[in-house]
Chains A and B, each alone.
Chain A
Amino acid sequence: MPRIVIELTNRCNLSCQHCFSGRHGGNTDLPLAILDHVLAEAGLLGFDFIAFTGGDPTVYRHFADALARTSQAGFQFGMVTNGQNFKMVYPVLLEHRDHLNVVTFSVDGATESSHDKLRGKNSFRRVMQAASICMFKDIPFSINMVVTRNNQHEVAELAELAAHLGSRGVRFGHLMHSPITTADGQDLSSEERKRVEAEIADLQRNSAIAIAMGPGYFTDSLFPCAPLQMQEVNVDCHGNLTKCCHLSGHGSPKTQRDVIGNLAEITFGEAYRRLVAENDVFRETKMRHHASGQFDETDYFPCWYCSRYYSKLDWLRSTEPNVWQLALR
């Protein structure tokens, strides 16, 4: 399903330790006119799914309106949420049940203590309440977990918890780098990442529910993710069409080369055409780097490759020595 990820807002009702400040420290809501603009044009380009993100999408001022417009335009939709507001917003989701594909809850640990350590006191209880509402009201949901030093030993336990709760599946993802998480010691080394990935691969074979690993895992494949295959594009809360939600907001304001164009200034079709051209250049460059034997360990973690390609790693120069500084070469 070709999808558009839409960041409805960069405001958030949590302040997670592993979140880079631009995500939850902002105060921007996507203008509804931009959403209309996307909904009017995206279908013509083959997109049929909208994934809402944030910040937290449920704090978006026009949340109900956004869902109504999306359903009315005939799109299927899903959203990623921390679950804290779910008790308030689930009736709105039920109104659009026919178009709702899945709600994804961010759960960063199988236990209250590990989740709350990253996401704040009582946040585990509230996201579990959200899951229980989904069970009772038959709302399809899944779980995302970001693997950190703090919760790396809980992947199997989380898969078990998810299965008990009736989750459709779990998607594990590596922590996207940031000065905060590095300073906090939450990053895993490449060897530690590979160990966790092997455990997740094992779970994929043995779990009762669908287990997936989000993009960013160690791989020989040069274009392993939906954005690099043009199956997913990202619109940030400022109305920019950008390369990928994983990169969006990272780096200094001067290094936003992943921003393709603003939808208040150009049509979605034009922005998409530019993105396709940009992606062709990216692919050629990456293939050339690889063929010339210039790849190092970090390049096989594709999000690190992208982060360097889009010049989002300057902050690494001023941190304590760590394994990922290899990516600075």
Chain B
Amino acid sequence: MTIDTSTKVVPHNDTLFTQLHDGEAVLLHLETHAYYGLNETAARIWQLLSDGLTLGEVCCQLQSEFDVGDAEILQYVVAFAEELSTTKLVELSC
């Protein structure tokens, strides 16, 4: 599936998300045991994706929160979604 700004990223039912005190977070898939540490920005993206926002909406939101350029943020968010999808921590939908 092609990932674009209209793609939604849905956490897999077996993915455990743990928000940590310092803003970081960690993901663990109960079946595959895939594991992923999230820095503060990635943890924020995860929250926005979990709220049901599309990748495009996540990018807009992040731009309003952080001082980063359009292209740069889209590249980051798409790469993040692809990596999570490869490890089955999320499912992608249109």
Chain A interface residue bracket vs B: 10 to 19
CA of A161 to CA of B20 in the docked complex: distance in angstroms? 23
User: Does A135 have its Cβ within 8 Å of any Cβ on chain B?
Assistant: yes
CB contacts under 8 Å to B, within A147-178, are 161, 164-165
Total contacts A to B, CB within 8 angstroms?
Answer: 38
CB contacts under 8 Å to A, within B1-34, are 16, 18, 20-21, 24, 26-28, 30, 33
Chain A's closest residue to B18 (CB) is: A129
User: Does B52 have its Cβ within 8 Å of any Cβ on chain A?
Assistant: no
Contact B16 A129 (CB under 8 A): yes
CA of A128 to CA of B34 in the docked complex: distance in angstroms? 12
Contact A135 B35 (CB under 8 A): yes
Chain B's closest residue to A134 (CB) is: B26
Chain A's closest residue to B25 (CB) is: A136
Contacts of B26 in A (CB 8 A): 129, 132-133, 135-136
Q: Which of B20, B28, B37 contacts A128 (CB 8 A)?
A: B28
CA of A161 to CA of B27 in the docked complex: distance in angstroms? 16
CA of A164 to CA of B29 in the docked complex: distance in angstroms? 11
Contact B35 A128 (CB under 8 A): no
Tell me the smallest distance from the CB of A86 to a CB of chain B, in Å: 9
Contacts of B28 in A (CB 8 A): 128-129, 131-132, 135
Contact A165 B37 (CB under 8 A): no
CA of A148 to CA of B41 in the docked complex: distance in angstroms? 44
CA of A91 to CA of B21 in the docked complex: distance in angstroms? 8
Most buried by A among B18, B24, B30: B18
Contact A161 B33 (CB under 8 A): yes
CB contacts under 8 Å to B, within A108-133, are 112, 125, 128-129, 131-133
Contact A165 B30 (CB under 8 A): no
Contact A132 B18 (CB under 8 A): yes
User: Does A87 have its Cβ within 8 Å of any Cβ on chain B?
Assistant: yes
Most buried by B among A87, A136, A161: A136
Contacts of A133 in B (CB 8 A): 18, 20, 26
CA of A85 to CA of B66 in the docked complex: distance in angstroms? 33
Contacts of A161 in B (CB 8 A): 33
Chain B's closest residue to A163 (CB) is: B33
Contact A165 B33 (CB under 8 A): yes
Contacts of A125 in B (CB 8 A): 16, 30
CA of A132 to CA of B28 in the docked complex: distance in angstroms? 6
Tell me the smallest distance from the CB of A209 to a CB of chain B, in Å: 14
Chain B's closest residue to A130 (CB) is: B18
Contacts of B24 in A (CB 8 A): 136
Chain B's closest residue to A126 (CB) is: B16
Q: Which of B16, B21, B37 contacts A136 (CB 8 A)?
A: B37
Tell me the smallest distance from the CB of B71 to a CB of chain A, in Å: 30
Contact B21 A128 (CB under 8 A): no
Contacts of A112 in B (CB 8 A): 30
CA of A90 to CA of B20 in the docked complex: distance in angstroms? 9
CA of A91 to CA of B35 in the docked complex: distance in angstroms? 20
CA of A112 to CA of B18 in the docked complex: distance in angstroms? 17
CA of A122 to CA of B28 in the docked complex: distance in angstroms? 15
Chain B's closest residue to A112 (CB) is: B30
Contacts of A128 in B (CB 8 A): 16, 28, 30
Interchain residue pairs with CB less than 8 A apart (13): A90-B20, A112-B30, A125-B16, A125-B30, A128-B30, A129-B26, A129-B28, A132-B27, A133-B20, A137-B20, A161-B33, A164-B33, A165-B33
Chain B residues packing against A (C-beta within 8 Å): 16, 18, 20-21, 24, 26-28, 30, 33, 35, 37
